[in-house]
Structure 1
Amino acid sequence: MVSRYRCPFKNLLILDFNTTCEENNYVYPTEIIQMSVSVLNIRDKLIREDQTFNRFVCPVINPVLSEYCARKTGIDQNSINTADTFPVVYDQFVAWLREHNFQQKSFAFVCEDHQTIWLIA
């Protein structure tokens, strides 16, 4: 007998964060420098390219990117210098959720690894 899993959500919101970093420094305080969200519509089995959220975030603890971080993330210093801080970007994200009518219990957040959700988000 074949069991078919039915996802209880209409959409999965795929979170992706880039953070500040330094090579071989594992106690470096990371800060979000880019927040991206893609929408996977479960029922239609497609990525909603018309519903994406992508913002750079200006870090406040370490506002200057290390050369390693810029190389690893592909984000340049000017992109974060002109970006809003996280509280502003978070408010923009909440407004984006409302604009696209993402209601409680109609979506779930997913991410590529446990570090993204537990340590960063």
Structure 2
Amino acid sequence: MAHRLLRSNLSKINRLTSVKKSESVAVKQTFEYLLIIDFEATCQKDEALKPQEIIEFPCLAVSTTTWEVKDVFHEYIRPQVHPVLTTYCTKLTGIIQEMTDQSQHFPDTFLNFQRWLHKSGYLENGKSTFVTCGDWDLGVMLPEQCAISQIPIPKYFNEWINLKDTFRHATAYHPRSLKDMLKHLNLPLCGHLHSGIDDTNNMARIIQLLGTKYQTDFRVTSVAR
């Protein structure tokens, strides 16, 4: 349900993230598409929740030719171990209990995502790679979630671009966070910080500016151990 709603709002996302054609710079990129992921997970205040479980799974497909968002995958997920969200989690992420109660468990969502990847052809001939803000999403959270759900991790999740590393190489500035990157580029925060779909949208805006103004060559920076 959430996936269908977000696809209908694709034009709105592109209006928020679009760059003027006059600003575009033709730089040969390693990848044809950058697949931006930012998970949100169960949490509680001042204490580590064990285990954490993914409750929001967004992915934006950004073309490195036009720097526009071509497609969106977005689903909320019903956690199995801690099905009731904490008040802190809802306040932090903007995800309310009804969103997860009406959603599928992770294995179904993960299967839907893999079908979306294959249907769209993003995995053909290595023409795409994942982008995350840090290494937590694919280096920590996905392996832990797959262990909870007792499902294997496909090999194409074994490497990704850490946007913080790319940002540092492009700007010579070491960013502490997504918000810090936006501030350094004089970009306003759009939406709700720690909303997965809003965070991916803001990452797309950063990527567009790095790809045009800074002529950044996006390459894999992180590999799963």
In the superposition, the TM-score normalised over structure 2's length comes to 0.49
1:66-102: CA deviation from partner (whole Å, max 9, x where unpaired): 0000110100101101100000001100111122111
Report the 3-state secondary structure (helix = DSSP H, G, I; strand = E; otherwise coil) of the residue aligned with 1:45.
Answer: coil
Counterpart in the other structure of 2:29:
7
Q: Amino acid of the residue matched to residue 7 of structure 1?
A: Q
Question: Is 1:71 aligned with 2:91?
Answer: yes
Distance 2:49 2:95 in 1: 21
Counterpart in the other structure of 1:58:
78
Unaligned regions of 5+ residues in structure 1, if any? Answer: none
Contact 2:43 2:49 in 1 (8 A): no
Question: Is 1:116 aligned with 2:141?
Answer: no
Shift in Å at residue 5 of structure 1?
6.7
Question: Is 1:106 aligned with 2:106?
Answer: no
Shift in Å at residue 27 of structure 1?
4.9
Shift in Å at residue 39 of structure 1?
1.0
Number of aligned pairs? 116
Question: Is 1:46 aligned with 2:40?
Answer: no
Contact 2:54 2:106 in 1 (8 A): yes
Contact 1:12 1:42 in 2 (8 A): yes
Report the 3-state secondary structure (helix = DSSP H, G, I; strand = E; otherwise coil) of the residue aligned with 2:138.
Answer: helix
Task: Choose between structure 1 and 2: higher strand proportion.
Answer: 1
Question: Is 1:91 aligned with 2:111?
Answer: yes
Shift in Å at residue 26 of structure 1?
2.3
Distance 2:81 2:67 in 1: 40
Q: Amino acid of the residue matched to residue 53 of structure 1?
A: F
Shift in Å at residue 44 of structure 1?
1.8
**How much is the aligned-residue C-alpha RMSD, in angstroms?**
1.6
Distance 1:112 1:53 in 2: 18
Task: Choose between structure 1 and 2: higher helix proportion.
Answer: 2
Percent same amino acid among aligned pairs?
A: 26
Shift in Å at residue 7 of structure 1?
2.5
